[in-house]
Amino acid sequence: MTDPKPRQSKDVSEAQAIERAKQGDAEAFQVLYDMHKRRVYSLCLRMTANTAEAEDLAQEAFLQLFRKIGTFRGESAFSTWLHRLSVNVVLMHLRKKGLPVVSLEETTQGSGGEEDTPKKDFGAEDVALAGSIDRLQLRRAVESLPPGYRTIFVLHDVEGYEHNEIATIVGCSIGNSKSQLHKARMKLRDLLKMQRAEKAEKS
């Protein structure tokens, strides 16, 4: 009697798991899922600010991965490729819900306009925000941003995309991406100021 095929060890490299998953190996796909599920879920949560939606979209992202992994050519890191796939899943969801993926307050100024160029002082010392801002406060403030602002802010300041990449992913101009990021940062400052004021009143 032939011994059953031994279970694939989960102690395999990402590259090995990718190649096996391309051949339809379910256990290899599980390895990839275990490697990347937290990051994909975190991305979905940051972009939607809704835990239930984030869970559903993370699952959808991995379903898309299962269908499309054969198209991965290794021209970029697998994590980068999966990240873009996940972003597209979230953006498609936002569009289906009728939510703007960029703010409806489109800039009407030319490329030389002040609104097209975000200020570079975000993260620098701000007298009005002097003192520590805990991670919970910041997370709540980001979640409170309008969907369009939140999308650009998360993609640029959290996920590290450049404006030309955001323009391609979201379908807007580079100038608009810069403008929306600037407005998102200003809105975030206002939200953090409000949170600090409310906290001071309660103390």
Q: What number does CATH give the domain 115-124+132-202?
A: 1.10.10.10
The distance from CA 201 to its chain's CA centroid, rounded to whole angstroms, is 34
- The HSE-up count of residue 23 (CA atoms within 13 Å, CB side) is 8
pLDDT for the residue numbered 95: 83
**Alpha-carbon span 175 to 33, nearest angstrom:** 36
CATH topology agreement for domains 14-96 and 115-124+132-202 = no
pLDDT tens for the chain, 203 residues: list them.
444 444 444 568 999 999 999 999 999 999 999 999 999 999 999 888 899 999 999 999 999 999 999 999 988 889 989 998 999 999 899 888 776 565 544 433 333 333 333 333 333 333 334 344 567 778 888 888 888 889 999 999 888 889 998 888 888 889 999 999 999 999 988 888 887 777 777 76
For 14-96, CATH number out of 3.30.70.100, 3.40.50.720, 2.40.160.20, 1.10.1740.10 equals 1.10.1740.10
Token match 């989960």: residue? 10
**Alpha-carbon span 66 to 90, nearest angstrom:** 17
Would you say the pTM of this structure is higher than 0.75? no
Which residues, other chains included, contact 148 with Cβ-Cβ below 8 Å and sequence gap of 6+? 99, 100, 101, 102, 103, 104, 180
Single out the residue of 46, 41, 15, 45 nearest to residue 28, CA to CA: 15
> What are the structural domain ranges in the chain?
14-96, 115-124+132-202
Token match 């339809």: residue? 24
Handedness of CA 74, 28, 13, 44 (dihedral sign): positive
pLDDT in tens, 10-65: 568 999 999 999 999 999 999 999 999 999 999 999 888 899 999 999 999 999 99
**Alpha-carbon span 57 to 48, nearest angstrom:** 9
| Euclidean distance between the first and the last CA atom of the chain, given in angstroms as a whole number | 74
Which helix (H) or strand (E) is 104 found in, with range? Answer: none
